[in-house]
Amino acid sequence: MLKLASVSMHFGGLQVLENVNLDIPERGIFGLIGPNGAGKTTIFNLVTGLFAPSGGAIEFFGERLDGRPAHQIVRRGIARTFQNIRLFREMTVRENLLVAMSAETTGSIARALLPGPSRRHAEERQRGRADELLARVRLGEKSETPAGALSYGEQRRLELARALATDPKLLLLDEPAAGMNAGEKRELMSEIVKLEESGLNIMIIEHDMGFIMNLCREIAVLNFGRIIARGAPAEVRGNPEVIEAYLGRDE
């Protein structure tokens, strides 16, 4: 499904990713772990087109993604959440989702000027879908609340719903459980499992080992911009190189 072939990335003299090869099959939740600064979020930034890689190729269902502008990549079915939440804080919860649903410029200006039943219809349909998604992440009661007034956990859930509003085939979650308590993490985990069961491909960056080991079918470990291990959670956990990367070497 998603394929990174010899992808490298450097910012000036700083090598962030070095010859990364990753071929992620369809279905199942794929985990990406590694120490801070290993280059995990950079991979997400490259896949979503926020940056162009310095070298290598990125393919999604056989189609080249690198070099395309970010909005086109989203429309091909890749959505993401952010490590530091990026909501439209001054908008209501529902409006945050509606922005994600209005992803076409052509015609929208002309349509905005012309009154008519088709426009009202489309808006009603979108509102309906937005409310369904909000109910799904248990924010149905808060659709009129400004996003900035939500609690931290609610903001995380809203960001997830907003990503889903773009109708993705692949969802990239960047540390979705950060700052959550045990109960919230359990709820999030069951929500992610449900999403996967509904046919969505999911790739996840997370520091909480328990969370990621329970959730993922396969995990890749990144250290200093290189993939040092890949496999089922149990294999990765026992890999001496991974243990060294996380805990350091015994002197």
Partner 1 sequence: MEWLETFWATYSTLALSLGTNILLALSIYLTLACGLLTVANAAFMGIGAYTAAILTLNAHAPFALAILAGALLAAAAGLAIGRPTLRLSGVYLAMATLAFGEVVRILILNAEGLTGGALGLNGIPQLTGAFHVLCAVAASLYVLLRLAHSRFGRSLAAIRQDEIATELLGLNVRAYKLFCFVAGAGLAGLAGALNAHFTFFIGPNEFGFERAVEILAMGVLGGVSSPWGAALGAALITLLPELLRGLGHYRPLINGVILIVIILYSPNGIWALFQSAARRARATKGTSC
> Where do contacts with partner 1 occur on this chain (CB under 8 A)?
48, 50, 69-71, 74-75, 79-80, 82, 86-91, 95, 98-100, 102-103, 105, 108-109, 111-113, 123, 162, 165-166
Q: Which is nearest to 43 in space by CA: 26, 27, 31?
A: 31
Q: Which is nearest to 130 in space by CA: 100, 97, 104?
A: 97
> For residues 249 and 218, what is the distance between their CA atoms, to the nearest angstrom?
25
Closest distance between partner 1 and the C-beta of residue 87, in Å?
Answer: 8
Pick 112 or 234: Cβ nearer partner 1: 112
Render the burial of 178-201: b for 16+ CB within 10 Å, e for the rest: bebeeeebeebbebbeebbeeebb
As a residue count, the chain comes to: 251
Closest distance between partner 1 and the C-beta of residue 236, in Å?
Answer: 29
Pick 166 or 223: Cβ nearer partner 1: 166
Pick 64 or 111: Cβ nearer partner 1: 111
Closest distance between partner 1 and the C-beta of residue 6, in Å?
Answer: 25
Closest distance between partner 1 and the C-beta of residue 75, in Å?
Answer: 5
Pick 71 or 121: Cβ nearer partner 1: 71
Q: Which is nearest to 195 in space by CA: 221, 157, 230, 231?
A: 157
Pick 79 or 195: Cβ nearer partner 1: 79
Residue pointed to by tokens 């700083």:
14
Closest distance between partner 1 and the C-beta of residue 105, in Å?
Answer: 5
